[in-house]
Structure formats: C-alpha cells, structure tokens
Chains A and B, each alone.
Chain A
Amino acid sequence: DQQVKQNSPSLSVQEGRISILNCDYTNSMFDYFLWYKKYPAEGPTFLISISSIKDKNEDGRFTVFLNKSAKHLSLHIVPSQPGDSAVYFCAASALYVQGAQKLVFGQGTRLTINP
C-alpha cells in the first residue's frame, strides 16, 4: 500500500525550461508535504514544503502546488539548471499524538536537465 506515489520514475528536461514533478497521496491524514532532493551517494536534502492549509508555496526557482481535493502535489522548477539533475522525493507527514511526525516517501523521480 503505497501511500505516496510518484508515477514518473524519470524525467528529462531542456536547460532553461520548466521541470514539473508530480506526486499523489492516498491518506487524508497527511497534512504537511515536503520535497527532498538526493544526489548519488548522499543523503536527501530538504528543498521546499507546504502545509495543507495552503495551495502554493514559492522559494526562488522552486514552487510547490497542492491540490487537496485531488490529493495531488507538484514541484515546479523554473528555469531548470544542470545542477538540478538529481532524484527528487516527495514526502508526506502525519501528526503523532506526541507532536512529532512520520515522513512517508514516494519512490522518487530522477530528473535530468539536458544542456
């Protein structure tokens, strides 16, 4: 039961264009969503997040959109740069009674930016 799904294992985009990475979730208890970026042989690095009370959050070239009714979020990178080539993981968080959280990750999408 994959609660967080990234249906595209890979994506190839021309440098300077927009990259759009998609993520779907099934658990309506998730109320916080994050994107992580991972280079080979390194740990994931936090990129951007969004609370379920919002539908958009922007940080420089990165924008995350949340559609709660569709249980869908997307990450937009514009303009795409060669250094953006990495694996991107979508993660969703649910609240614990003790005020902590558990992150559930998608399978990841490998983004390749072509010069």
Chain B
Amino acid sequence: NAGVMQNPRHLVRRRGQEARLRCSPVKGHSHVYWYRQLPEEGLKFMVYLQKENIIDESGMPKERFSAEFPKEGPSILRIQQVVRGDSAAYFCASSPDRGRGTEAFFGQGTRLTVV
C-alpha cells in the first residue's frame, strides 16, 4: 500500500481508557486522512490534516476524539474514554502535495476493540 504505516494493527482497550492510533504517511506526503469503518459498514471520513493543521474535521465526533499531524512524527488519532461503540477499523490515508485527482494511499488499518 505504497508505504503508509499504521500501528498498532490491533488495539484492545477497556471502557474509559484512552486509545492512540498512529499513522506514518508515505514519505513526502503532506496530506493525511483518517477514516473509520464500523462492522458491516463502509468507510466514513473523519478528519483531514495537513502538516500542523486540521483542514476538515467534519466527520469527527465532537467529544473524545482528536487528531494531530505534527511537523515531525506521525499523525495521531486519539480517542479518550473509549466506549464499546468506538470498536471499529480505523484507516489512515495519505496523498502528496500536488495537483487534483491524486489518489490517496491507505495503510493497513488499526482494529480497535473496546471491551
């Protein structure tokens, strides 16, 4: 998948704990997207970030969820006080800083299970 690295691949958290999902985009890509796939559903957009900026977080729940893409290091999706309904596969994608129509490359995803 063109080098987008997500870790961990699997994450188990108890209700009320925090979950941190990391995404390293393809080298040189400055656009990062997070998507969530609930069981038996499609991919739902959560947030779009460029380096150090959140461009669009319209798909992200207002509470407990936050995302960042610092100047150095991976993008982080943080879920505080997790609940059972947060159990899903979370996918990160990246695209380069160039013209329109560039496809996004996806990572393998992090499967979060809240017990």
Interface residues of A (CB under 8 A from B): 6, 32, 34, 36, 41-46, 49, 51, 89, 93, 95-96, 98-108
Among A36, A46, A105, point to the contact of B45 (Cβ < 8 A): A105
Number of interface residues of B (CB under 8 A): 30
A104 engages B45 (CB within 8 Å): yes
In this complex, which of A36, A46, A51, A93 has the most chain B Cβ atoms within 10 angstroms of its Cβ?
A46
CB<8 Å pairs between A and B, sample of 20: A36-B106, A41-B108, A43-B4, A43-B91, A43-B109, A44-B43, A46-B103, A49-B101, A49-B103, A51-B101, A89-B43, A96-B56, A100-B48, A100-B95, A101-B95, A102-B48, A103-B33, A103-B104, A104-B45, A105-B43
**Residues in B whose Cβ lies below 8 Å from that of A101:** 95, 100-102
Chain A's nearest CB lies how many Å from the CB of B44? 7
Separation in Å of the A95 CB from the closest CB of chain B?
6
CB distance from A30 to the nearest CB of B (A): 12
A96-B56 Cα distance, complex, nearest whole Å = 10
Whole-angstrom CA separation of A93 from B45 in the bound complex:
12
A45 touches B55 (CB 8 A): no
Residues of B within 8 A of A (CB): 1, 4, 6, 31, 33, 35, 41-45, 48, 50, 55-56, 91, 93, 95, 99-109, 111
The distance in angstroms between the C-alpha atoms of A34 and B33, with both chains bound, is 16
A49 vs B101: C-alpha distance when bound (angstroms): 8
Residue of A41, A103, A106 most packed against chain B (CB within 10 A): A103
Which applies to chain A's interface (DSSP): helix, strand, loop or mixed? strand
Interface residue from A98, A105, A108 paired with B55 (Cβ < 8 Å) = A98
Assembled-state Cα–Cα distance A89/B91 (Å) = 14
Given contacts A43-B109, A44-B106, A105-B35, contact A96 B55 (CB under 8 A): yes
Nearest A residue (CB) for B35:
A105
Q: How far is the CA of A19 from the CA of B31 in the complex (A)?
A: 33
Does A43 contact B42, Cβ atoms closer than 8 Å?
no
Q: State in angstroms the CA–CA spacing of A87 and B107 once bound together.
A: 16
Q: Could you tell me if A42 and B42 are in contact, using CB atoms closer than 8 angstroms?
A: no
